[in-house]
Amino acid sequence: MSMRLQGKTALVTGATSNIGRAIAEAFAREGAYVAVSGRSAERGEEVVEGIRARGGRAEFTQADLDGSAAASRTLAQEATRVLGGRIDILVNNAGIYPSTTTALTEEKTFDQVYAVNVKAPFFLTAAVAPAMVEAGGGAIINLGSWIARLGIPSALYSSTKGAVETLTRAWAAEFGPQGVRVNAISPGVVLALAPGESHPAEIMMKGTPAGRMGTPDEIADAAVYLAGDDSSFVHGIVLDVDGGRTTAAVIAN
Catalogue the active-site residues. 157
Residue 65: exposed, middle, or buried by beta-carbon count in 10 A (0-12, 13-18, 19+)?
buried
Residue 17 and residue 43: Cα distance in Å, rounded?
A: 8
Do β-strands 9-12 and 89-92 pair in parallel, antiparallel, or remain unpaired?
parallel
**Alpha-carbon separation of residue 40 from 14, 37, 60, 159, 167 (angstroms):** 10, 9, 10, 27, 28
**Strand ranges of the sheet holding 33-38, from the earlier edge strand across to the other edge:** 57-62, 33-38, 9-12, 89-92, 138-143, 180-187, 238-241
